[in-house]
Structure 1
Amino acid sequence: MVFLPIITFIVLVIVGCPFAFIMGLTGFAHLFSIGYDGIANILSQKMFYGINTFSYTCIAFFVCAGQIMNKGGVTQSIVDVAQEFIGFKKGGLAYAVIIVGMVLAAILGSSNAVAVILCSIMVPAMVSSGYDKEFAGCTIASSAILGVIIPPSIDFVIYSVLTGISVKRMFVAGIVPGIFLGLCFMAVVYFTAKKRNYPKYREHFSGKDAVRALIKGLPALCVPIIIVGGVMGGLFTATESGAVACLAATILGFINKKLKIKDFVEIFASSGIVTAGIMLIISMGNILAWSLAYDNVPTRLVEGILSITTNGNLVMLLIILLLFAVGCVMEAFAAQLILIPVLAPLGEAMGYDPVHFGIIIIIMLTIALATPPVGMLLFTTSKVADIELSKLNKGIWKFVLAGLIGTLILAYTPILTTFLPNLLYGSV
């Protein structure tokens, strides 16, 4: 009976069952295997309590903001600015993708939203300029990773809800790591562009054109400053920042004359479907997370790892390897809901800074979004940009390796993550 949940999980993955139901059914199998009484009553309760949190309302707002920006042409203004300032470099469009990914991350907080927007705008531009379509897709998929790391972030909200860590501190702590990983991805672009002799967007830097693009794109660039600055300054909550993002995107869309009232029917319908999918994953995941907690799995895992070694550096390395392995075969939201309640006590037992530890967990599970075989960003990019998934699976590994190296540096240099929140809000 002890292997029933493991067998259930493996079988459901093999047959292609949606991950939301995989988690719910695996949790059910786990409770059944340990002989828990009243399973039928507890399942509905845990599904409801899993999503009965006000902080999760920001998810709908961030998803909706992405849809509005895509329709309203706000992203194109940001792209134009990036291209003018970096386009004179070899591989300039690829650099622009990463920069735009950073800016969009600070507005949307969703990797999938960033990927969809970049695919629709940048893939055609890169291919027509002489870039390999596979490289264009891999650059976008890796850039979209930053959507979860640079605040605001849906994943930071989930981590904060599960652990009780301040959302505000998590948001601020994600700024430097997000920019740092962006630079790691730019290093991949640099060497690839040099090897394949990718073109420049323009031959020379033009200060006049750059200033013109900056003035035109300034309203769009101000959106992330208002959102993140408002949360950092305590002017509004994470949920309210999502509403502000929707409002700002709507105003800019009307100013650009690309957004129409009739577009909101499609925007709200699409946003509702995406949000419902996320909430279903969270509610089902809570069944499995609760069953693991009830069976005292987190405590046993902590004791098991500490029985191997109590060296903090080795424990951190084991955690990173575990997260990478899990991320290769499990959807990121699902992995968070299962592993965060398990690993948070271990971080506390080892004396890690809770914010730094949380950032490392989120980064590793976020890198998994672009890691075969179940990297959600690879599926999104493949579908939207019409690129063969096998080609993306092959080309993405150089970006994954750069992300892993960057994460290891962040893991063993905690001050890069903690100095900004400690500076603004004091030490934990």
Structure 2
Amino acid sequence: MIILILFVVLLFSGIPIAFVIGITAFLHLLSIDGTTLIGVTSQRMLSSVNNFTLLAIPFFVLAGELMNAGGITARLLDLSRNLVGHLRGGLAYVNVLIGLFLGAIVGSANAEAAIRSSTIVPEMEKDGFDRRFAAALTTTSSVLGPIHPPSMTFIIYGVVASTSIGALFMAGILPAFLIAAIHFIIVYFYARKRNFEVRKFPPVKQIFLSFLRALPALSIPIIILGGIYSGAFTPTEAGAVACFVAILVGMFYYKTLKISDFPKIFLRTGLITSTVTFIIATANILGWSLALEQIPQQMANYLLTLSDNPYIILFIINILLLIIGMFMEVTAALLILVPVFLPVILALGIDPVHFGVIICLNLTIGLVTPPVGVVLYIVSNMTKVKLGELVKASFPLLIGLIVALFIISYMPGISLWIPHMLGY
């Protein structure tokens, strides 16, 4: 209990999450067995990141940075405009559709939020949308990034839960489309209420040309998922292939990626990767110290005493995760919580791939909820919408996300249909 209190105090003190986890783990080990266990902490930290599968993280981060610098957004925006821009309130649909496209390429909620805040929100405002709604729509639909494959969040869960990352990638496809569809429904009613103009449907030739221009960007997720499914390469190797394709597309097709861009790209990739890796290393020590006292097993046994009904246990876990996601960074929460909840869901016969989608979506929703919602701060800063106004405007959309979460939780076929169809 003292360790839990210490963790909460450090978390709210503003110390970076990696140091919060590391300090808590260090003091917990001291409380268990003095200094005896401290001597092996450095070895455990090194062994936790000495994992071939984790190489996928820098590769996919680098691929996202390369595609960002390669000017994909303009092509995707043009294609989205031609597909749905003619509808009433068309730019709002475009915003969500861009989020779906970028989710399949960038895989980061933060990156999605930044890109669309600077490119699409100003256009929506010019088109008559309230800036607060435009910013809110950008905020909540950014959760598509970590849910649509390829996803760094799924990679981390797959490593911790010893679950197929390829299956997790496939499992995220339909949930991402469901989240986009719920956003479309909310946009439909908003646009009708504001009585936006319905525009003329663009010529088929125009749509076809915009599709051809965007095709190289759209080919990256197809190559990644096709390669993994066919067995041509592993998810880790898929990250390297994505980087190679991103370089070819950016430098030789779009011709917007320059050699001079590479130092900044590598620097950003290194900073993001080192942050995630350090969190993984410190979280491994905390997980080890908790396992020594069998705390995950005790938590699992306690939850199972509450009920043996998987629907009730899933409801309890969902509520806990939504609350935890409001205060903890996604990677750290995954590394700490997956070992706690995994024995419970396995005992109840819940598929770990299905649970992977549930826990990743839960914690990703935390990115768009106060007080520690990083995406909220990014969008608020870039759109100049006050944080309080953004939170208020996001509320109906946030309810939509929670509805999607519970639909996915209680209808496992949404997550598992594609993986099962492909033989996972």
Task: Name the counterpart of 1:33.
Answer: 31
Moved more, 161-170 or 61-70: 61-70
Instruction: Give aligned pairs, total.
Output: 423
1:397 & 1:35 partners in 2: Cα distance? 47
Q: Does 1:217 align with 2:208?
A: no
The one-letter amino acid of 2:368's match is A
* Matching residue within 401, 404, 418 for 2:402: 404
2:210 & 2:38 partners in 1: Cα distance? 59
| Paired residues of 2:100 and 2:145 also in contact (CA < 8 A) | yes
| Paired residues of 1:63 and 1:271 also in contact (CA < 8 A) | yes
1:34 & 1:398 partners in 2: Cα distance? 47
- Aligned CA-pair RMSD: 1.8
| Paired residues of 2:380 and 2:386 also in contact (CA < 8 A) | yes
Q: Report sequence identity in percent.
A: 40
Task: Name the counterpart of 1:421.
Answer: 419
Residue aligned with 1:108, SS = coil
2:318 & 2:332 partners in 1: Cα distance? 17
Residue aligned with 2:14, SS = coil
Distance 1:97 1:268, change over 3 A: same
The CA deviation string for residues 369-409 of structure 1, in whole angstroms up to 9 with x for no partner, is 11111112212323344433332222222222111111111
The one-letter amino acid of 2:88's match is K
Task: Name the counterpart of 2:344.
Answer: 346
* Matching residue within 235, 238, 241 for 1:241: 238
Task: Name the counterpart of 2:80.
Answer: 82
- TM-score after normalising by structure 1: 0.93
- TM-score after normalising by structure 2: 0.94
| Paired residues of 1:348 and 1:354 also in contact (CA < 8 A) | yes
Tell me how far 1:114 sits from its aligned partner: 2.1
Tell me how far 1:101 sits from its aligned partner: 1.4
Task: Name the counterpart of 2:201.
Answer: 204
Task: Name the counterpart of 2:107.
Answer: 109
| Paired residues of 1:129 and 1:199 also in contact (CA < 8 A) | no
The one-letter amino acid of 2:32's match is I
The CA deviation string for residues 164-186 of structure 1, in whole angstroms up to 9 with x for no partner, is 11111111111111111111122
* Matching residue within 263, 266, 279 for 2:264: 266
Tell me how far 1:39 sits from its aligned partner: 4.0
The one-letter amino acid of 1:133's match is R
The CA deviation string for residues 130-176 of structure 1, in whole angstroms up to 9 with x for no partner, is 22222222222222211111111111111111111111111111111
| Paired residues of 2:62 and 2:265 also in contact (CA < 8 A) | yes
1:425 & 1:94 partners in 2: Cα distance? 37
| Paired residues of 2:247 and 2:257 also in contact (CA < 8 A) | yes
1:242 & 1:309 partners in 2: Cα distance? 41
Task: Name the counterpart of 2:68.
Answer: 70
Gapped regions of structure 2 (runs ≥ 5)? none
The CA deviation string for residues 176-211 of structure 1, in whole angstroms up to 9 with x for no partner, is 1111111112222222233334556x4434323212
Tell me how far 1:81 sits from its aligned partner: 0.4
Task: Name the counterpart of 2:54.
Answer: 56
2:193 & 2:52 partners in 1: Cα distance? 49
Tell me how far 1:327 sits from its aligned partner: 0.7
1:69 & 1:383 partners in 2: Cα distance? 23
| Paired residues of 2:29 and 2:38 also in contact (CA < 8 A) | no
* Matching residue within 127, 130, 133 for 1:132: 130
| Paired residues of 1:4 and 1:30 also in contact (CA < 8 A) | no
Task: Name the counterpart of 1:96.
Answer: 94
| Paired residues of 1:74 and 1:249 also in contact (CA < 8 A) | no
Distance 1:337 1:256, change over 3 A: same
Distance 1:45 1:155, change over 3 A: same
